[in-house]
Amino acid sequence: MKKLSFDWMSNPQYLAQVSHVLGGALLLAIAVIFSVTWTPVLITLGCGVAAATFKEFVFDVSSWGEGDSWSDSFMDWAFYMVGSFLGMGLAFLHLR
């Protein structure tokens, strides 16, 4: 029997991307839980996309922020968008 390994958890980049996906998805999941129409979900989606864009492309690449490269910030932003896509799938299932 193969031993269960948690070596993947020692990679901080992997854990960061999982966190970005969960952050994007949970933001919309919470909006879906308290919504009966599409309007609050779409407003939350717009605010989430705007906040993720500001955080990744203004704060993280600036010298007073984290000082990340543009490619790192784009990768993080893309994982936020993957989470948002999953959250919108949940919204579709809940609000159809």
**3-state secondary structure at position 68:** coil
Sorted by where each begins, the domain ranges of the chain are 15-95
* Tens-digit pLDDT profile for residues 80-95: 999 999 999 999 999 8
So what's the pLDDT on residue 8?
67
- Look at residue 11 and give its three-state secondary structure: coil
Rounded-to-integer distance, Cα 89 and Cα 16, Å: 22
Residue 29, both tokens: 């999941």
Residue 96: name the closest of 31, 38, 51 by CA. Answer: 38
pTM: 0.83
Q: What is the pLDDT of residues 36-62, one digit of tens each?
A: 999 999 999 999 999 999 999 998 888
DSSP letter at 69 equals: -
